[in-house]
Every structure is written in structure tokens, then in C-alpha cells.
Amino acid sequence: MKDLNGRVAVVTGGGSGIGRGLSLGLAAEGMVVAVADVQKANAEGVAAEALAAGGRAFAVGVDVTSAPSLAATAKEVVVRAGGVNLLCANAGVLARIGPLDAHTVLDWEYTLSVNVLGVVKTVDAFLPALRASAPDAHIVTTASLGGLVSEVRAPIGAYTASKYACVGYSEMLRAELADQGIGVSVLCPGVVASNLMATSAENRPDAFGEQSAPQLTPKRGGNDAARLAGFAMPAEDVGPLVVRAIRANRFHVITHPQTKRLVEERFQAMLEDFDFADSAPPVLREES
């Protein structure tokens, strides 16, 4: 999908953070952007920003954990914009910062309901419209660098597990939709400036309990929060990177190439485990 001008994009979680950056970036390319968010007022604010910059956008309210809400939103977008060419299944939450044994079952359920099932439900709702636009159609899911490598210094176990699932789902989706003319990319951002923790708490339904304050263990020699803030990419910078990846039909959309070493180390350790398995006595390999 190379020509974005005049095409229609939907961005869930578009009212803040990366979703806002995606919405503004796609609008700058001439796309008609449906900014979708559970907080419709936030979506309206982002749509207004896009309009003020000369783009075309409108706001819609949506709850990505609700199939009926998504179905209604998909119908509204098709009626208002005439179809859908690009779906950014971007809505996500960070329910807990702290060690795994501090994560509650409700933390896990909230995280997975948005970061995994929310992506699945979003794609299911918009897939008929995307098929109608194919081969001029593309899907971008938002995972995380934490969906490619886990980092114990970032104690966000449920979030990391959910993003690993998002990457796996997206890889399968790309393979299954390739013959249908629909491209699939997975956005794996490093640290991006956003208010993810705050919006996660604000949007957390009562059924999932209250969201506790982050449980961080200070490290000697510096302020981790300040260090991460200095490393954070502005959300507005993410949009152009995603546009470039869509045009090239790349699968992994990487925002911080300097983190390549972390992924290399993970896969090197995996390859060494394959070598270890291959070095087992023949009788052990035959029994397995």
C-alpha cells in the first residue's frame, strides 16, 4: 500500500500517546483518519489537531474490549468515510509496574482483555471493510520492543507477555492475509513519550479492581525514571516511521534501532539452546 493520500485510516487508542502520533502522521499524508478512543473527548482533541494542521479527521468512541462497540464503530466509519484502507489496532494498557508476584489475576485479565483480545476483536470487526478495499489495504498492530525481548529491569511482566502474544498473532495474520492483498505490520516501539500508565488507570473498568501505584526498586547511580524520559521518543515521530514501513510492507516496525543488541542476545541464547539439544546423546534425542 504505497499511496495513502485520500485513503481512510482507523486508529484505536488514537486519543493519546502513540495513537495520537499515528493519527497526526497519517493525516499529514492526506489520509482521512478516524480517531477512535474509549475517551471520545480525547479523540475529538486529536481530530481537532489534525484538522488545524490541514488534515482530514473525525472522532469516534470505541471500547476495544467490546465486540458490539467495535462493530458499531466499523459501521460508522464505513458510512462516514466510504470504507477502510488502513487499520491501526493500537489501543493498549499497562496495568502494573512491579515484579510478577505483585501482579494480580485482575491485572492479567485487564491487560490481556485490551492488549491481546482487544487487538483480535478490532481486526475481526474491520476485516470485512479491509477485504473490500484490498489490495489497497493494510493492518498495523501495536506491540512493543517488550514483545521481542523481555527485560527484568523493566518489571512489566503482564504487559510483556501480552505484547509477545500480539507479535505472534500479527505474524500469523500476515501469513494468512498475504494472498488476500492485505499487508500486516507490527509496531514494536521502545520508550515513547506518553501517559500510558495514567490512561490505563483512568480507563480500567471497576470489574478489574483498582490500579496500584508502580512498584519500582531504585537502582544505584541514577534516576531510572529520568533516564527513561530522556530516552523517550516523541509520539509525533512514530507516525512517519509507520508510514515508511507500510509503504515498504515491512513486518516489524522498529522505532529504536539502537536496541538491536538486546534482540540479538535473545536469539543468540536461543540458538545456543538448539546447539545444546543437538549435542544430546542419540538415545535421548530418539526418546524425545
Active site residues: 159
What is the total residue count of the chain? 288
Torsions phi, psi for 256 (to 5 deg): -125, 80
**Sole residue written with cell 485479565:** 109
What is d(CA 118, CA 163) in angstroms, rounded to the nearest whole number? 12
Q: Can you count the helices (H) and strands (E) in the chain?
A: 11, 7
What is d(CA 144, CA 151) in angstroms, rounded to the nearest whole number? 12
β-strand pairing of 182-188 with 56-61: unpaired
What is d(CA 30, CA 25) in angstroms, rounded to the nearest whole number? 9
| Residues paired with 187 in a beta bridge | 142, 253
Coil vs helix vs strand at 36: strand
What is d(CA 205, CA 198) in angstroms, rounded to the nearest whole number? 14
**Which residue from 97, 217, 116 is spatially nearest to 157, judged by alpha carbons?**
97
What is d(CA 182, CA 82) in angstroms, rounded to the nearest whole number? 18
Q: Is the peptide bond before 234 cis (omega within 30 degrees of 0)?
A: no
C-alpha triplet 252, 34, 140: angle, nearest 5°: 10
